[in-house]
Amino acid sequence: MKNNQFAIVPTDSEAAIAELRTIHFITPEMAALKTVPEIYQALLAKSFPEVHTASSRQHRFANLMATATLDLNEWLAQATVVSNQVFYNIGLQLLGFLPGQDFDLHDPLLAMRTIHLPLVGDSAFDRESLYYAWYLLLNTRGHRGQTLIENLTARGYFVPFYQLPNEQKPLFFNGKAQAVFDTNALIRDVVYVEAPLDTDQDGKRDLLKVEILRPAETATGLKVPVLYTASPYNQGINDHAGDAQMHNVDVPLPPKAPDNNTLADVAAKPDETPIPAARPINQTTREAEETFSREQSYTLNDYFLARGFAVVYAAGIGSVDSDGLATTGDTAETASTIAVIEWLAGNRPAFTNRDADTAIEAWWCNGSIAMTGRSYLGTLATAAATTGVSGLKTIISEAAISSWYDYYRDNGLVVAPDTFQGEDTDVLAAEVFSRSLRAGDAHRIQAKFDAKLAELTHDQDRTTGNYNQFWDARNYLKNVDKIKADIVMVHGLNDWNVKPRNVANLWDKLQDVPVTKKLILHQGQHIYINNLQSLDYTDMMNLWLSHELYGVANHAKTLLPNVLVQDNTAAQTWHGFDNWWQDAKRALDFKVQYKELVPADHPVDHRAAHFSDQLPDKLFKYYQQHLDAWQTELLNEHKDSPLYDHRLLFKSWQAPEAQLLVGQPHIKGSVAVNQNFGMLSFMLVDFGMAQRLTVSPQMIASKALDLGYHWREDDLKDFKLAKPTPFKMITKGHLNLQNRHHPWHAEAIQPNQFYDFELDLQPVFHHLLQGHQLGLVIYATDMKMTVRGNQDLQYSLNLNDIQLHIPVKSL
């Protein structure tokens, strides 16, 4: 294990001792202890909450080696001083590391440094430095990726704290909220928030079902902040309806009628449909009428439920027990999302049932709300933030969409999210319209929803793939300047479902917005990262939310790096940066020659290179079923690849030194096609035999992460280095040749005439090792993402015109 820990708050010795008193590690009785070994023994004695007697404790001590020859009891019997050798021998064992395998009892400090664990250098401790070292040890991560205090939490250390009076809760240690709330006593309420919407046009405002989990202490007056996850999936999904709506992608790319559109022409019109009046409030209550058994939860939220935060889930318009229709990303959906925040902040009514005769306030909420969640969930958090809604202090948006056009389209082309060929806004709407899963409700509403679905199908316009008013209404980037909430963004650099452009554009637009923003880029695909062994992500989020929602002065904004990036060349390695590409001052510039990428100042040929997009029928059919084989053969540089004549591949020098490629690679060129329409696709590839990270995090220990005490659990995982591979695709881009200038403006092209083009590929943060080669692949049909008509389309590119520009910065 290699530790990457960012959420330790630097704390002076005096403050550390005060905190140790707060969590009862230092007790008044300890003042009477005379020697440092006696004090050390007293601290250790508290580290076994499972045992209740001195006899049992002594056996636990006997399991630990203090030196290479003495167990802890033997050593204590003769100790006069506590050296840091002994302290970290014992400390490493308490953290789950095993002498002989993970470290050497003769040199624990070496292991502390190798694993990147913080340590106190004093060779022999006095009382104060012992306390300080103990404090630091409690905040140090062990071999299962949890700190010692978290490990003690999972073993019951904080159970006696459940009984503390509300005034002493929540409890913070090293700037982070601790699990002093009994998760067995959580209160679970359902309320129905009245949104300022009538999407199902029944003349009444849409009621939205909200599931609330809150600590029992709220019933006796404690006010708590809320982690709110808006998840359209949360009340179930209708796979069957989604599948039925799925689009056939094995259709020809059509020529488009040229238009004269400007951006102003496609600007979304504000929805001015009048909204029905709010329901009258005749009576109010503090008691809910409905509860729920098992919510669909996010383990990060579960963790906070033990620590003094409430958690709220809502599936929004069109979901089970709510009103309205699913609309995929429009302003109604955003209004539905923030209605819950408005209720939590005291600015909107909710009712105890769907008859809406009794109102209920979020009287237990302290008015501070964060949003969490990944993918569609993170997308709604982003959407909510762009409204500037009051009460929303921060969002942690993971793998979030920032503009739906960047999810389902690219430069005038229909471009699917990876593994979801044929999906579109209507498919997603059909899937999350979970009212269809309740036959009684469906009976009344399905016809209205089918009409909405037809509208989505029409307006999303798969025929042209152009950016239009429909997509403009689903572009949150237009409202980034309205954001008032601080933001943590998390995204996978290999996420080809929600592609990296989504986070990059948001990050870039936020540069000028006066909120605190943090960015974490990992090497995964479309995943959560709160169960990785190598990164203290959960602690970072605890630091962040303790600061943002409880106002703890824990330096969260400075301790967390602005941009934290997982290295793609080594396991368990994360680096902090000040920015992404925005502070890059250098770039790599290439032109091409025959099959090579060459420095831009080289003289190059004036020839054209050609490829045909059309594949033999049998091969095409094989690739339809074997998408990974298609990509592997596309990148295979050997002449025997069946795709050899169906793409152009250019390879660079072997990198004379390692390079850090950042931001959006930019490509220019000129192309002719034998029809009056066409498309180009591009891949940037890292060539070089090397061990690369596994595609997904691998299981290290099932259910090893306790999120509290006798509470929910998560699996411990991390990326590992896999067997060596010869290449890896770094990024992609797609272009409809009729949209060479704007995605909203289709231009005519003539067959066999050369046209200039340029485009940005999806952004990267890629560590190219010394000796590796960059590859540029130019092709047309992307079997994984574009339509696949297997048409007779032949492309010619002027080699002299092709240019590749990639910003780089120092490692």
Give me the residues that bind its own copies (CB under 8 A), please: 50-53, 55-56, 59, 61-65, 69, 71-72, 93, 98-101, 105, 154-156, 184, 190, 240, 289-294, 320-321, 352-355, 357, 437-444, 703, 706, 709-710, 713
745 has catalytic annotation: no
Token pair 């067995």 is found at 184
Output the smallest distance, CB 722 to its own copies, in A.
Answer: 14
Token pair 């029944």 is found at 202
526 has catalytic annotation: yes
Q: Which C-beta is closer to its own copies: that of 444 or that of 602? A: 444
721: phi then psi, degrees, rounded to nearest 5: -80, 130
Token pair 């999120």 is found at 707
d(CA 700, CA 718): 7
Q: Which two tokens stand for residue 81?
A: 């001083």
Output the smallest distance, CB 104 to its own copies, in A.
Answer: 11
Helices (H), 54-107: 54-62, 72-78, 84-94
Q: Which C-beta is closer to its own copies: that of 151 or that of 523? A: 151
Output the smallest distance, CB 52 to its own copies, in A.
Answer: 5
- The SS3 of residue 365 is strand
Q: Which C-beta is closer to its own copies: that of 51 or that of 689? A: 51
Helices (H), 499-645: 501-510, 537-550, 556-559, 617-625, 627-635
Cβ atoms of 137 and 94 within 8 Å: the answer is yes
Output the smallest distance, CB 49 to its own copies, in A.
Answer: 8
Query: Is the four-CA dihedral 541, 546, 551, 552 of positive or negative sign?
Result: negative
DSSP 99-160: BTTTB-TT-HHHHHHHTT------SB--HHHHHHHHHHHHTSB-TTS-BHHHHHHHTTTTGG
Spot the catalytic one: 143, 491, 522, 526. Answer: 526
Output the smallest distance, CB 50 to its own copies, in A.
Answer: 5
Output the smallest distance, CB 188 to its own copies, in A.
Answer: 9
Q: Which C-beta is closer to its own copies: that of 103 or that of 580? A: 103
Tell how strand 224-230 and strand 310-314 pair up: parallel
Output the smallest distance, CB 321 to its own copies, in A.
Answer: 7
Q: Which C-beta is closer to its own copies: that of 325 or that of 759? A: 325
Q: Which two tokens stand for residue 705?
A: 């992460």
Q: Which two tokens stand for residue 322?
A: 């709510």
Cβ atoms of 503 and 298 within 8 Å: the answer is no
Q: Which C-beta is closer to its own copies: that of 239 or that of 481? A: 239
436: phi then psi, degrees, rounded to nearest 5: -70, -15
Q: Which C-beta is closer to its own copies: that of 156 or that of 551? A: 156
Output the smallest distance, CB 414 to its own copies, in A.
Answer: 28
Where does 200-301 show beta strands of DSSP type E? 207-214, 224-230, 284-285
Q: Which C-beta is closer to its own copies: that of 450 or that of 637? A: 450
495 has catalytic annotation: yes
Q: Which of 63, 70, 55 is nearest to 96 (CA)?
A: 63
d(CA 135, CA 139): 7
Spot the catalytic one: 375, 397, 434, 436. Answer: 375
Helices (H), 139-238: 148-154
Half-sphere exposure of 642 (CA within 13 A, CB side): 13
Spot the catalytic one: 189, 495, 706, 714. Answer: 495
* Positions marked active-site: 375, 495, 526
